[in-house]
Amino acid sequence: MSDLKAYVLDSGLTPFEQLCRLMEILRSEQGCNWDRAQTHRSLLPYLIEEAYEVIEAVEAEDYTALREELGDLLLQVVFHGQMAGERDQFTINDSIRSIIDKLLARHPHVFGERQDLNPGQVRDQWEKIKTDSGEKDAVLSGLPRTMPALTMAFRMGEKAAGVGFDWPDAAEAMKKVAEEMREVESELASERPDRDQRLADEIGDLLFAVSSVARLARVDPEAALRRALEKFRHRFERMEEELTANDGRFDDYTLDQMEEVWQRIKGESGRDR
């Protein structure tokens, strides 16, 4: 075993400490040119990719894959911590201490006066603590603008609900969906010069309202949409395979004929996984 490998695999270290030591070597002059060339910004695509691969493993309930993907995601965290440490900005241990302090402060019902709060009460307390502590200067601050829009809609609704601004339940939120649908229909029929922008605004309002229904129904809208898209992909590919068999083309079929095939495939597949 080489000296560097033995240094990493020191049996006196925890696996996390070994990983940190490994990244330290990769970023050193004795390490890897690719690792040394990276910056916080250059690593962002990999961080996002690894996060999505964790999501995919969870949704597939593939826990062997999840074990591996969590390791890959952790590597990205350690990588950023190592680079910050090299510049004396902070260390990965500073990040760990920060989240420990934050979790202790935001769970007073566990680490202070004991209270049996339900998940919704815990969420609302979390948001109130962040605002009262001055950590954020407004209820809706702290949401990254780079988040997927549907996920942001879900989280924005949660934050507003944390201060009591919300519908009482999903059924009441559905009334807002119906209202927004009527407004979309009205703009579709409009001939005003600014119709396109107004229509885009109303469709955005409709999507936001639908995300609120999902949130109040305890459904993750981002995950639900991904499942719907995967279901559509599966059915469409089956239809395409059938229609294009023997050198056929979509142009050979009317919309009604395609719909007939679609409905049959839908009936055969039932509730696709």
Q: What is the pLDDT of residue 271?
A: 53
Q: What is the pLDDT of residue 121?
A: 87
Query: Is 125 exposed, middle or buried (CB count within 10 Å of its CB: 0-12, 13-18, 19+)?
Result: middle
Phi first, then psi, for residue 144 (nearest 5°) are -60, 135
Name residues of the chain where pLDDT drops below 70. Answer: 1, 270-273
Helix 221-243, helix 44-59: angle, nearest 10 = 80
Q: What is the pLDDT of residue 273?
A: 46
> Residue 90 has which token pair?
């902070």
Q: What is the pLDDT of residue 127?
A: 79
Q: What is the pLDDT of residue 119?
A: 87
**Cα–Cα distance, 167 to 151 (Å, whole number):** 19
Identify the CA nearest to 147 among candidates 138, 158, 132: 158
**Cα–Cα distance, 111 to 71 (Å, whole number):** 29
Identify the CA nearest to 70 among candidates 45, 50, 87, 49: 50
Give the Å distances, CA to CA, from 13 to 19, 21, 80, 185: 10, 10, 21, 64
CB 148 within 8 A of CB 191: no
Query: DSSP characters for 174-239?
Result: HHHHHHHHHHHHHHHT---TTHHHHHHHHHHHHHHHHHHHHHHTT--HHHHHHHHHHHHHHHHHHH
Residues 6 or more apart in contact with residue 170 via CB below 8 angstroms: 213, 216, 217
**Cα–Cα distance, 145 to 99 (Å, whole number):** 22
Q: What is the pLDDT of residue 134?
A: 75
Output the CATH code of domain 3-103: 1.10.287.1080
**Cα–Cα distance, 179 to 70 (Å, whole number):** 42
